[in-house]
Every structure is written in C-alpha cells, then in structure tokens.
Amino acid sequence: MTTSGARALRATAALGLAALTTSLAACGAPATSAGGGGRTLTVLAAASLTDVFEQVAADFEADHPGVTVEQSFSASSTIVQQVNEGAPADVIALAGQSSLDPLAPELRLGPPVVFTTNTLELAVPADNPAGIGGTQDLTKDGIRLVVCQPEVPCGTAARTLFEHLGISPDVASFEPDVRATLSKVELGEADVGVVYRTDVAAAGDGVAGVEIPAADNVVSSYPVLAVSGSPLAQAFIDEVMSGRGQQRLADAGFVAP
C-alpha cells in the first residue's frame, strides 16, 4: 500500500469512528435537555389519542415558547414496554388503567390521573358492503371482522364487549393497535372493526360508525402520568386537564371522567 493510500485509509477510519461516536452519543442523549436553549418534552400516547394530542401539543407549544413537544403514538402496552426498557419519555398517556400495571415502580414519578374516558363503536366502510346494522351482525356468516390484538387495551375492551354480548365471533385479524384496525376498515379490506368511538370520528368520510348500546358497551379510562422529573411534564398534564384540553377531548368524542 502506498503511503498516501494508507493515510487516506487512516483518515477515513478516524472519520468513521468519530462519526459513529458522535451519532451514538446523540442517540444516547436524553430527550429532555432542560438546561439547553430549546427544550423538548417527549410524550408517548395511546394510538387512539393521535389526533387530539397533536392539537393539545400545539396549544401547549403556543403557551410555552421555545418548547417542542415530541410525540409518539402506539399501543399502550408497547409504550409501557418501551418506557420500562429505558425509552426517553416525560409523559405517558394510556388507554385503559390496567395498561399501567406493568410499569416499573421507579418510573411512577407522579400519581396517574384519569383525564378522559372512551367507549367502543363498530367501524364499517362508508358504503357498508356487509350491511352491518348493529352488534347482532358481528356473528353473521362470511363477514370479515378485525379487532385489536388481546394484548392491547382496545383488544381487551373488544373481548369484554363480546363477553357482554355473549358471542364469540370469527375474527379475520388481530391488529397491533387501534389505528391499524381502523385502517383495515378504511381500506375496505374488513367489513367491520371494533374501535373506539373517537377513532370513527377521526377517520372522516371513509368510515361510518355503528353504535353499540350503552348496556353492552365498554368504558375505558385514560390515565396520564409523568415518568421524568421534567417540570414541563406536570405543565403538560395541567394542559390536558385544563378547560381547553378537556374541550379538545370533548370535540374529538371523548367523555370527561
């Protein structure tokens, strides 16, 4: 190897190593850098909160200049799993109080507060090809029903609903979270999906809702709590509990606890 070749190689190797270390260090940095100029608040929230929490975060950012709210939406059980494994988060908002059970005790920095509730509804494609008119049609022959997988809150709620109704319908697929369930209906691949009332409202024209009688329906409570010592975490929870935050939730179809 020529000298210049060796030098180039060495330089490349050093650069590569430097790049690797910096990028790894950047990945490892906590999301809440309260001491820095711009401050970031990381919120992990249940998939059913996707649209309404984007509005709440926008309200919060407007009132707290220089603060950026970073949000990630997924199944509540996934969120708890991620936080237990060390995912950086300041606030978690979950569907279903039992979702909190697996949360590590040292992460419960604040008492969980139930900030809203939700109920189930049947989602059907706008043209309702299978003619679903109510829960009695869930056991009709040949319909394709999708629900959340039993490990996530909307799946547990769906199972409770079937118990209330005394039915065990054929399920085509157990989807990873409520929005995945909804999208199978929206695409027309499923004839009916069991989702939250608020998901049907958020879906717009592609999806129609079929009510579930209150006597059979399942009410899910949504807890929110701080999992970091960031002062912004409590401020964000206050925003959720405020009149404005509760109005946002009500507009999306959630019901005050």
Partner 1 sequence: MTGRSLTSRLALLAPAWIGVAFVVLPLLALLVRADWPHIGTHLAAPVVGESLRLSALTTSLTMVVVWTLGTPLAWILARSDHPLTAWGRALITVPLVLPPVVGGVALLMTWGRRGVLGGWLETTFGITLPFTTAAVVMAEIFVAMPFYVISVEGAMRGLDRRFDEIAATLGAGPVRTFRTVVVPMVLPGIAAGSALAWARALGEFGATITFAGSFPGRTQTAPLGVYASLERDPQAAIALSLVMLLVSVVVLGALRSRWLR
Please enumerate, by residue number, every residue annotated as part of a binding site for molybdate.
48, 76, 178, 196
In whole angstroms, the minimum distance from the beta carbon of 113 to partner 1 comes to: 24
- State the distance between the two ends of the chain, measured CA to CA, in whole angstroms: 73
Q: Which is nearer to partner 1, 40 or 77 (CB)?
A: 77
Which region among 31-39, 43-51, 165-173, 199-207 touches partner 1 (by CB under 8 A)?
165-173
Q: Crossing angle for the helix pair 243-251 and 50-63, nearest 10 degrees?
A: 150
Count residues binding partner 1 (CB under 8 A).
29
Told to check if 8 binds partner 1 by CB under 8 A, we report: no
Q: Which is nearer to partner 1, 193 or 253 (CB)?
A: 193
Told to check if 211 binds partner 1 by CB under 8 A, we report: no
Choosing from 71, 98, 128, 173, the residue that interacts with partner 1 (CB under 8 A) is 173
Choosing from 81, 139, 234, 242, the residue that interacts with partner 1 (CB under 8 A) is 81
Residue 184 and residue 173 in contact, taking contact as beta carbons nearer than 8 Å: yes
Q: Which is nearer to partner 1, 80 or 233 (CB)?
A: 80
Choosing from 121, 175, 199, 239, the residue that interacts with partner 1 (CB under 8 A) is 175
Told to check if 97 binds partner 1 by CB under 8 A, we report: no
Residue 128, judged by CB atoms within 10 A of its CB (0-12, 13-18, 19+), counts as: middle
Residue 117 to residue 92: CA distance in whole angstroms: 16
Which region among 10-18, 130-138, 229-237, 245-253 touches partner 1 (by CB under 8 A)?
10-18
Q: What is the DSSP string of 140-208?
A: -TT--EEEE-TTSHHHHHHHHHHHHHT-----SEEESSHHHHHHHHHTTS-SEEEEEHHHHHHHGGGEE
Residue 160 to residue 150: CA distance in whole angstroms: 10
> What are the tokens at 51?
């649209």
Residue 148 to residue 193: CA distance in whole angstroms: 9
Q: Which is nearer to partner 1, 17 or 219 (CB)?
A: 17
Residue 134 to residue 116: CA distance in whole angstroms: 26
Kindly list the residues in this chain that would bind partner 1 in the complex (CB under 8 A): 6, 9-10, 13-14, 16-17, 20, 75, 77-78, 81, 144, 146, 149-152, 171-176, 184, 187-190
